[in-house]
């Protein structure tokens, strides 16, 4: 089973039909399961509102299973911060992916953010 953690940057790119969105949508469709943190919904809805298109693309969120950590993610965050200095939201998404990786073998991490992507690869997450 192919599973991917999806950062909000991918969802936003598809909803806004940014350059490469068609290819990204095709690649997303090749995964059996997509997961993310509820923070992705807030980032997604905020971005669409800023673009003046609230509600558009809401069905993209229905593709996701939501990760709800039951503890603080301090160990995961420390591991990530040893590799780089991501923004807070990027740190949270990476930490959530690390949190579930033991249960979701060969978890991919999908993002369009180059800095976050660099850290994800350093953490041995496969990408697209």
- How far, in whole angstroms, is CA 13 from its chain's centroid? 12
Q: Write the DSSP symbol of residue 32.
A: S
Which pTM does this prediction carry?
A: 0.93
Is 120 within 8 Å of 6 (Cβ atoms)? no
For residue 12, what are the contacts with CB-CB under 8 A and spacing of at least 6? 18, 43, 44, 47, 48
Torsion sign (Cα): 67, 70, 73, 76: negative
Q: Is 9 part of a structural domain of the chain?
A: yes
Q: How confident is the model at residue 32 (pLDDT cuts 50, 70, 90)?
A: very high
By CB atoms closer than 10 A (0-12, 13-18, 19+), residue 90 is buried
How do residues 2-22 score in pLDDT, each as one tens digit? 999 999 999 999 999 999 999
The whole domain housing 23 covers: 3-122
Q: Is 127 part of a structural domain of the chain?
A: no
pLDDT of 40 > 90? The answer is yes
Q: Write the DSSP symbol of residue 67.
A: P
Q: Is 83 part of a structural domain of the chain?
A: yes
pLDDT in the model for residue 54: 72
pLDDT in the model for residue 127: 77
How do residues 51-87 score in pLDDT, each as one tens digit? 988 776 678 899 999 999 999 999 999 999 999 999 9
For range 78-98, the mean pLDDT: 97
Q: Is 128 part of a structural domain of the chain?
A: no
Phi-psi region of 20 (alpha: psi -120 to 50; beta: other; left: phi over 0): left
pLDDT in the model for residue 14: 93
Rounded to whole angstroms, the Cα distance separating 50 from 103 reads 36
CATH code at position 67: 3.40.50.1010
pLDDT in the model for residue 53: 85
| Domains identified in the chain, total number | 1
Q: Is 49 part of a structural domain of the chain?
A: yes
Mean residue pLDDT of the chain comes to: 93
Q: Is 87 part of a structural domain of the chain?
A: yes
pLDDT in the model for residue 105: 82
């Amino acid at each position: 089973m192919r599973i991917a953690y999806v950062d909000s940057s991918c969802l936003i790119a598809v909803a806004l039909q940014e350059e490469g969105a068609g290819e990204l949508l095709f690649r997303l469709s090749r995964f059996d399961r997509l997961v993310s943190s509820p923070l992705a919904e807030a980032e997604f809805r905020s971005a669409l509102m800023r673009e003046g298109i609230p509600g558009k693309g809401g069905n993209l969120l229905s593709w996701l299973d939501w990760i709800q950590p039951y503890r603080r993610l301090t160990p995961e965050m420390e591991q990530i911060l040893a590799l780089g200095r991501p923004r807070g939201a990027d740190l949270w998404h990476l930490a959530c992916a690390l949190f579930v990786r033991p249960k979701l073998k060969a978890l991919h991490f999908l993002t369009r953010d180059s800095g976050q992507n660099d850290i994800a690869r350093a953490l041995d997450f496969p990408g697209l």
